Amino acid sequence: MIFTDPSSSATARFLPFTRFSNGVVSLRRFVGALHFGSLTTTFPRTLFVHFSPRSSRFITAAMATVPSAKVIDGKSVAKQIREEISAEVSKMKEAIGVVPGLAVILVGDRKDSATYVRNKKKACESVGINSFEVHLPEDASEQEVLKFIADFNEDPSVHGILVQLPLPYHMNEQNILNAVTIEKDVDGFHPLNIGRLAMRGREPLFVPCTPKGCIELLHRYGVDIKGKRAVVIGRSNIVGMPAALLLQREDATVSIVHSRTKKPEEITRQADIIISAVGQPNMVRGSWIKPGAVIIDVGINPVEDATSPRGYRLVGDVCYEEACKIAAALTPVPGGVGPMTIAMLLSNTLSSAKRAYNFK
């Protein structure tokens, strides 16, 4: 709210202030801090002051908040995690001569899937994890895929198996994912892992990588989850549903917003923490967001951009330009959740190898 003296003859009496032609004077300064758990965000504000022509003792002021949400830098956190994993891999190799191994099965020629697999291979190399890759043609049979999975299940040098999704339409995704032994299910999609995640008092061997990365970002930025209201937008088996289960394990009060939810903006506006994973560009507007909320934006959506050399740019599910004026902290797109997904895959692979050899 802005309080002003409309008189144009108001006179500023403090030298550090700058006068504008309308009689308003301003001083740029940092005031106050917003606390969310141990997350602290400093708000830069401009103080506008009018002086009454009748008395220099009374002033009226306006605090104008400029965009100041803290950026949750997934790229930086993922780099730190990879360094930690690299040290653990070296320690394990020196102690017992074992190097963790990750096998990836790619079916078809989708460019995005090939890029993901290539990035995963590079990430493995960067931390010292062995990578094994199988690339099958689009018309490969389901039995061929199952044969490679069975071989990797029995291979002691492979500690994690990842089937790159989506699979071609003629394959039964559920049958293929279920064929990965639970001890090597580093994607965390096996029904027994998801079932354990959903049950109190049970621990899954692995947690799906993207939701795990979301929670890790909240932890590393000191966001207190316990007792907070959290909203997950989207209910996919890969992100939305396991993200909601993880938040519940952290003692948040969780609501799920999906395509059939009535008035989703009203539910989302109550959230202290928002995780959005729906694949709809800029769907979550500023009016959906509670002031001071923390936002994890999983969406990666291409939108046309004539100014970009590629003809498009990537945006999230959340309108960043509006959200950064209201939220306490949020992830950028790109550079937020994406790098964390691969870091969590490496973490799960390392954990699998340690478990196989009872290495602490």
Task: Round to whole Å and give the CA distance between 299 and 321.
Answer: 15
- Strand pairing class (229-233; 160-163): unpaired
Instruction: Identify the three-state secondary structure at position 163.
Output: strand
Q: Give catalytic residues, as residue numbers.
A: 120, 164, 187
Cβ(338)–Cβ(123) below 8 Å? no
Give 190-198 contacts, CB < 8 A, sequence gap 24+.
Answer: 194/237, 194/241, 194/242, 197/242, 197/245, 197/246, 197/249, 198/245
Please report the DSSP string for 37-54 in residue order: TTEEEEEEEEEEEEE-SS
Nearest one of 86, 79, 96, 4 to 48, comparing CA atoms: 4
- Strand pairing class (294-297; 273-276): parallel
